[in-house]
């Protein structure tokens, strides 16, 4: 390891875990557009949202003004079990790339759920418990969110019903068992247990499901079961708020050594880890105190930012959820089954969508074989087996570091390593066997999704 003052891992102390979440929206001049009631097309009020979401979470969802929100002590205590998460200087990767760039990553995979999702799951379970609810329902795609939520619910003794996208349910039996071990019930979606599930199955027999279908089912069960609410692990403002702990810790660690990143990179599915990682940096950018280049990385097979439309759309396939203004491929868009790397949601956080629309951040898309190539390179030199989702960020971090090698620039790069990939070995197997392929939707494929966008004139 080269001689330097900066250690391989920068740990914060337990008492440096944030005690407040940071709400980027407070510093945005153009606020994200409000959620709309799908019936009236009027902005959703707290009252409209109350049958679906927990009260305190609704307040957070609609709060565009308070920059800081206290993290309740019970949540701070839980965070202490696995936070602060390490900020790692990727010395070995830098060496392998022979780059003058300085690369740092914030590693969120060091908890049993294997990803950053626990940061929001524990907050959402806490508020559900505080409201005296019996349980919560949710959907899960690759399984990380369901796992995180089942851990959080077992901690607060809440019932947890998970609708798991059928293709993942079948491909990832071990994820399913982890959830059941923490006490959750797991149903493959679409299922016969809901009206919307039956309808989707009748229209698309044999479908392997999508996140949008699973959301519709979970919402239906929440609103029709006494003492239950629905919770969501990404996309929503409240989730980005909870995930701000990632960025706040990363910034505090870098500040200890006077390091300022030039480029901040994160993978983008619904936008929660990226929104959380960039929060305090974006805050400085919005307030005109500092500038950073911020890059969202998405799969070429599900390119919401780079090829989507900025429009109001349904958040779910069943069209029961509120409309959100976001970069979207259309709620009917179902990514190719060949796509292994997660990040399959058709839309994107409305906060990040607004920031992207206003030019505060960039986006790029990458193909999955190049993502796995980056994942493998990273695993071999840095030791951590990355989640395919996280590896989208690794890909672009490596590409930016290689550009520095060409130009000789010593840029500082920070990226989010959102999780580990132990449950993704079927995808790694495909890559190792050389049978992984890339799929990029044609413009015509995308037009089909856009055709289903609701007509909203505002």
Ligand X SMILES: *Cc1c(COP(=O)(O)O)cnc(C)c1O
Stretch that binds ligand X, among 172-180, 265-273, 326-334, 404-412 (CB under 6 A): 265-273
| Residue from 152, 300, 343, 371 in contact with ligand X (CB under 6 A) | 343
State in angstroms the smallest separation of the CB of 60 from ligand X. Answer: 16
Joined together, the tokens standing for residue 237 give: 């403002």
State in angstroms the smallest separation of the CB of 436 from ligand X. Answer: 19
Residue with tokens 């996280």: 390
Query: Is residue 389 part of the contact set for ligand X (CB under 6 A)?
Result: yes
Query: Is residue 115 part of the contact set for ligand X (CB under 6 A)?
Result: yes
State in angstroms the smallest separation of the CB of 357 from ligand X. Answer: 18
Name the residue nearer to ligand X (CB basis): 223 or 379: 379
User: What is d(CA 74, CA 450) in angstroms, rounded to the nearest whole number?
Assistant: 43
User: What is d(CA 133, CA 171) in angstroms, rounded to the nearest whole number?
Assistant: 32
Stretch that binds ligand X, among 29-37, 122-130, 186-194, 270-278 (CB under 6 A): 270-278
Name the residue nearer to ligand X (CB basis): 194 or 234: 234
Query: Is residue 269 part of the contact set for ligand X (CB under 6 A)?
Result: yes
User: What is d(CA 382, CA 388) in angstroms, rounded to the nearest whole number?
Assistant: 15
**DSSP element (H, E) containing 217:** helix 211-224
Query: Is residue 97 part of the contact set for ligand X (CB under 6 A)?
Result: no
Strand 263-267 vs strand 412-417: parallel, antiparallel, or unpaired? Answer: parallel
**Do you find a cis peptide bond into 309, omega within 30 degrees of 0?**
no
Exposed / middle / buried, residue 454 (Cβ in 10 Å: 0-12, 13-18, 19+): middle
The answer to whether residues 432 and 416 touch, using CB atoms and an 8 Å cutoff, is no
State in angstroms the smallest separation of the CB of 196 from ligand X. Answer: 23
CB nearest ligand X: which residue? 419
Q: Within the chain, what is the greatest distance between any pair of CA atoms?
A: 64
Site track 202-241 with ligand X (rule: CB under 6 A), x = hit? --------------------------------x-------
Query: Is residue 418 part of the contact set for ligand X (CB under 6 A)?
Result: yes
Per DSSP, the three-state class of 185 is strand
State in angstroms the smallest separation of the CB of 138 from ligand X. Answer: 12
Name the residue nearer to ligand X (CB basis): 299 or 330: 299
Per DSSP, the three-state class of 448 is helix
| Residue from 34, 212, 270, 283 in contact with ligand X (CB under 6 A) | 270
Name the residue nearer to ligand X (CB basis): 149 or 387: 387
Task: Say which DSSP state 420 is in.
Answer: B
Name the residue nearer to ligand X (CB basis): 116 or 129: 116
Report the site for ligand X in 144-173 (rule: CB under 6 A). Answer: 144-145
State in angstroms the smallest separation of the CB of 277 from ligand X. Answer: 9
What count of other Cβ atoms lies within 10 Å of the Cβ of residue 61?
Answer: 20
Query: Is residue 138 part of the contact set for ligand X (CB under 6 A)?
Result: no
Name the residue nearer to ligand X (CB basis): 84 or 271: 271
**Do you find a cis peptide bond into 244, omega within 30 degrees of 0?**
no
Query: Is residue 390 part of the contact set for ligand X (CB under 6 A)?
Result: yes
| Residue from 87, 162, 253, 267 in contact with ligand X (CB under 6 A) | 267
Query: Is residue 272 part of the contact set for ligand X (CB under 6 A)?
Result: yes
* Total residues in contact with ligand X, by rule CB under 6 A: 20
Stretch that binds ligand X, among 132-140, 157-165, 384-392, 430-438 (CB under 6 A): 384-392
Name the residue nearer to ligand X (CB basis): 159 or 389: 389
DSSP string over 257-326: TT---SEEEEE-SSSHHHHHHHHHHHHHHHTTS---EEEEEEETTS-HHHH-EEEEEESSTTS-SPEEEE
The answer to whether residues 108 and 417 touch, using CB atoms and an 8 Å cutoff, is yes
Exposed / middle / buried, residue 379 (Cβ in 10 Å: 0-12, 13-18, 19+): middle
Backbone angles phi, psi at 107, to 5 degrees: -100, 115
The answer to whether residues 58 and 50 touch, using CB atoms and an 8 Å cutoff, is yes
| Residue from 25, 83, 117, 325 in contact with ligand X (CB under 6 A) | 117
Closest Cα partner for 164 from 205, 220, 124, 218? Answer: 218
Query: Is residue 124 part of the contact set for ligand X (CB under 6 A)?
Result: no
| Residue from 28, 136, 231, 387 in contact with ligand X (CB under 6 A) | 387
Name the residue nearer to ligand X (CB basis): 38 or 270: 270
Name the residue nearer to ligand X (CB basis): 270 or 330: 270
Residues lying near ligand X in the complex (CB under 6 A) are found at: 115, 117, 144-145, 234, 267-274, 342-343, 387, 389-390, 418-419
């Amino acid at each position: 390891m080269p001689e330097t003052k900066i250690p391989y891992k920068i740990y914060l102390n337990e008492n440096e875990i944030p005690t407040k979440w940071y709400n980027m929206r407070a510093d945005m001049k153009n606020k994200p557009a409000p959620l709309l009631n799908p019936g009236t097309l009027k902005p959703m009020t707290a009252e409209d949202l109350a049958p679906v979401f927990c009260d305190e979470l609704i307040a957070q969802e609609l709060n565009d003004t308070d920059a800081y929100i206290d993290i309740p002590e019970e949540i701070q205590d839980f965070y202490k079990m696995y936070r602060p998460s390490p900020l790692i200087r990727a010395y070995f990767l830098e060496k392998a790339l022979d780059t003058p760039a300085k690369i740092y990553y914030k590693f969120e995979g060091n908890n049993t759920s294997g990803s950053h999702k626990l940061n929001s799951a524990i907050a959402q379970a806490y508020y559900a418990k505080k409201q005296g609810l019996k349980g919560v329902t949710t959907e899960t795609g690759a399984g990380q969110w369901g796992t995180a939520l089942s851990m959080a619910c077992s901690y607060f003794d809440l019932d947890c019903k998970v609708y798991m996208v059928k293709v993942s349910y079948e491909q990832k039996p071990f994820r399913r068992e982890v959830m059941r071990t923490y006490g959750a019930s797991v149903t493959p979606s679409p299922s016969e247990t809901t009206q919307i599930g039956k309808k989707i199955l009748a229209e698309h027999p044999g479908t392997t499901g999508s996140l949008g279908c699973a959301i519709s089912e979970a919402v239906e069960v929440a609103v029709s079961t006494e003492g239950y609410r629905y919770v969501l692990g990404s996309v929503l403002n409240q989730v980005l708020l909870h995930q701000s702990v990632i960025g706040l810790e990363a910034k505090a660690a870098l500040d200890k050594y006077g390091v300022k990143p030039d480029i901040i990179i994160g993978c983008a599915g619904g936008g929660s880890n990226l929104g959380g990682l960039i929060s305090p940096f974006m805050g400085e950018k919005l307030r005109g105190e500092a500038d950073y280049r911020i890059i969202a990385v998405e799969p070429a097979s599900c390119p919401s930012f780079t090829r989507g439309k900025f429009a109001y759309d349904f958040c779910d396939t069943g069209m029961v959820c509120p409309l959100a203004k976001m970069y979207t491929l259309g709620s009917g868009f179902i990514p190719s089954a060949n796509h292994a790397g997660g990040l399959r949601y058709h839309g994107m956080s409305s906060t990040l969508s607004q920031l992207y629309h206003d030019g505060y951040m960039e986006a790029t898309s990458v193909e999955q074989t190049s993502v796995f190539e980056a994942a493998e390179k990273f695993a071999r030199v840095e030791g951590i087996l990355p989640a395919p989702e996280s590896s989208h960020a690794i890909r672009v971090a490596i590409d930016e570091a290689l550009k520095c090698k060409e130009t000789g620039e010593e840029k500082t790069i920070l990226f989010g390593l959102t999780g580990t990939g132990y449950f993704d070995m079927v995808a790694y197997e495909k890559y190792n066997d050389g049978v992984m392929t890339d799929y990029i939707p044609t413009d015509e494929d995308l037009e089909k999704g856009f055709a289903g966008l609701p007509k909203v004139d505002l």
